[in-house]
Amino acid sequence: MAKQKTNENGSERDAKKADLEKNTVSGDGHFHTSNHGVRINDDQNSLKTGERGPTLLEDFHFREKMTHFDHERIPERIVHARGSAAHGYFELTKSLSEYTRAAFLQEPGTRTPVFVRFSTVAGSRGSTDLARDARGFAVKFYTEEGNYDLVGNNIPVFFIQDAMKFPDLVHAVKPEPDNEMPQAASAHDTFWDFISLMPESMHMIMWTMSDRAIPRSYRMMEGFGVHTFKFINDSNEAFFVKFHWKPVLGVHSVTWEEAQLISGKDPDFHRRDLWEAIEQGHFPEWNFGVQIVPEKDEHKFDFDLLDPTKIIPEELVPVEIVGKLVLDRNPDNFFAETEQVAFHPGHIVPGIDFTNDPLLQGRLFSYTDTQLIRLGGPNFQEIPINRPVVPVRNNQRDGHMRQTINRGKSSYHPNTTGGGCPFQAKMSEGGFVSHTEKIDAVKIRARSQSFFDHFSQAALFYNSQSDIEKIHIIQALRFELGKVKDPGIRKRVVAMLSQVDQSLAGQVAEGLGFVVPDVPAHLNQSIPADGNPDDFQPQKSAQKEVQVSQALSMANTVKNSIKSRRIAILVSEGVDEVSLNTMKEIIEDASAETKILASHLGFVSSDSDSLIAVDETFSTSSSVLFDAVFVPHGHKSSDKLQKDERVLNFIREMYRHSKVIAADRSGADLLHAAIPKISVQGETRLDNLANGILINRTAKEFIEALSQHRFWDREKMLNPLD
């Protein structure tokens, strides 16, 4: 009888479990166990002395569960704390065997698994995605020769030239230590005080004050290796190389006002965008390019290849596209993968080597030191996301959180007890050999004279910008310096800006309420203590071989696709079903995404009494979360929308942010109600293809306009610097 009862109870339990699995996404039928594998029969109640008594110390299930919870958070990254990541692959399209012996860069068609993490730099894990900031762009290649990490940014230069200054930079840009404010923002005294004393930062400042620092999405920003590295080929010849990631969708940004509004509406905007694009099959893609300089040409330029505050203008050395990066799978678990991934610029493979870039040299120490603290010890490479796809065989043993169970008694080298294993690999056997480089120098704390032109490339960047991009830089500097309380700091920064461009400095100074001051006699703090400051003063930007570089302006980016763009369609009761569905289908056929917005969720009735499903409401959504708006025909629908102030603001924001606005027939009534009819020589600005406002235009014209991203003439018309 007892056996029968057990079977009955077991059948009942199995039935309940099967029923539960029908309603559980990941139900696998496995029993709940402790961390050491023991099945647990009650995970809901602690062990007590009686039902109302105190919890017993011997309750090891409770202690294990609570201890694990207490330690679920690891120290966040000091920089690049807020990030998002994805799996994918790198495919080589052109062999680089002439320049490097790296195995994954030999045969076209070779695919290498990758894990890519994007991030902001200054903010904490809880900060907004839309901060004005550089963005990390780190790629881990799981190659057949071991892991290779290309740890870069979306900006090709950096604030400082020597890693010795990195702690100072980070301390300056982080929240001020007396009050822990502001979060994820550089607009405060300590940052600009540091910048005002470091003229080498001027080139990076031009980039971070530009629209590059507020990208539309991770999928629409460039990536750079920042440093100059070396390729080494089979003949042991060396080549200097710069790495580039160029997004197939082009390089696009949001406006500063949009960034602030998005931070309030959806601070996870970039993270959500990346995740949803991959889930929907709009796989992010970048072309991989290299700039290669033969070793004999190291000193042919009027800048130093080892200076991380300098680029190689593409007019001097074109970027050669040799591969592509595709991200096609989201992480299964954010903590296990995105948070625990450990990148390191020192993770290189045979055929790739370092240069004497003093910022890079410092990073080679810093990254390992950081991971030891953040991930608990020397075995962070054994965490699954960090493991190479090839076997790891060495005599490194033990340590915190060791995963590998090493066999045998040999934990040293050379040895005979282990048969001499593991053997050392010759270069011909795939062993890594550092490139032979002759060094004849004295030990000194100093900086090369070739590093002391701090303004020429800052001027190159500014001069290469379109008119509206220059306006945005001026606006950004006015905002940032307007938050600085110390007038002396503001004036020192503007004095440095005058070394880049007098007009730039003048317009920034005007917005701050003073005239451009003289440059301080001794501006540069990066000089040796026993040096003559006059010998190391940065000079005003000089005439250079390249005056304007087309690649530096986003106005020249790719504008041939609307793939994964988000279009809002505004509707109410009585919307014309044909007008709505015709445009919706054509937009989605072009791989863009549409969302139906109305005053309420559920459905609205069309003019033919069909039910139109509503995706979002005017209360829960915002214009800044979309790339364009379309208002379909329907007199009744248009009339109702005109009475909703939220809708009018939606259109006005779209107009102010220079986005594409389209309407079909009576839908134009909403546009006329929302947008002021600004006239030029008697012509209304509405229904102006050149201005991105389309009324009664074809879907083809709408798609063509949307591919242009923005219509900045509207900003000029609104006098943004007044």
Q: What angle do CA 330, 560, 692 make, to 5 degrees?
A: 110
Q: What is the arrangement of strands in the sheet containing 593-598, beginning at the earlier edge strand?
A: 616-617, 593-598, 566-570, 628-631, 660-663, 693-695
Single-letter residue type at 412? Y
Long-range contacts at 689-697 (CB < 8 A, ≥ 24 apart): 692/658, 692/659, 692/660, 692/661, 693/655, 693/660, 693/661, 693/662, 694/660, 694/661, 694/662, 694/663, 695/662, 695/663, 695/664, 695/668, 695/671, 696/663, 696/664, 696/665, 696/668, 697/662
* Active-site residue flag, 244: no
The secondary structure of 231-264 as a DSSP string is EE-TT--EEEEEEEEEETT---B--HHHHHHHHH
Q: Which of 87, 147, 153, 270 is catalytic?
A: 153
Q: Which of 157, 219, 62, 302 has its CA nearest to residue 627?
A: 219
Strand 352-353 versus strand 229-232 pairing type: antiparallel
Element (H, E) at 717: helix 713-717
Q: Which of 201, 85, 65, 689 has its CA nearest to residue 492?
A: 201
Single-letter residue type at 577? E
φ/ψ region of 281 (left if φ > 0, alpha if ψ in -120 to 50, else beta) reads: left
The secondary structure of 398-415 as a DSSP string is --TT------SS--SSS-
Instruction: Please confirm whether the linkage preceding 75 is cis (ω < 30° from 0).
Output: no
φ/ψ region of 420 (left if φ > 0, alpha if ψ in -120 to 50, else beta) reads: left
Q: Which of 30, 35, 41, 80 is catalytic?
A: 80
Say which residues have a Cβ less than 8 Å from residue 631's Cβ, sequence separation at least 6.
569, 570, 638, 641, 662, 663, 664, 667, 668, 670, 671
Say which residues have a Cβ less than 8 Å from residue 673's Cβ, sequence separation at least 6.
642, 648
Q: Which of 190, 240, 248 has its CA nearest to residue 217?
A: 248
Q: Which of 451, 450, 470, 464 has its CA nearest to residue 546?
A: 464
* Active-site residue flag, 80: yes
The secondary structure of 537-594 as a DSSP string is PPPPPPP-S-S--GGG-GGGS-----TT-EEEEE--TTB-HHHHHHHHHHHHHTT-EE
Match 């982080």 to its residue by tokens.
174
Q: How many CB atoms lie within 10 A of CB 353?
A: 19
- Please report which residue ranges of 122-209 form alpha helices under DSSP H: 166-173, 189-196, 202-208
Q: How many CB atoms lie within 10 A of CB 167?
A: 11
Rounded distance between C-alpha atoms, residue 356 and residue 434, angstroms: 13
- Please report which residue ranges of 417-455 form alpha helices under DSSP H: none
- 678 burial type by CB count under 10 A (0-12 exposed, 13-18 middle, 19+ buried): middle
DSSP state of 606: B
Query: CA 58, 61, 63, 66: dihedral to nearest 10 degrees?
Result: -160
CA distances from 187 to 1, 153, 208, 405, 472 (A): 78, 21, 12, 51, 16
DSSP state of 520: P
SS3 content of the chain, % helix, strand, coil (to 5): 35, 15, 50
Phi, psi of 440, rounded to the nearest 5 degrees: -135, 95
Query: Which residues are designated catalytic?
Result: 80, 153
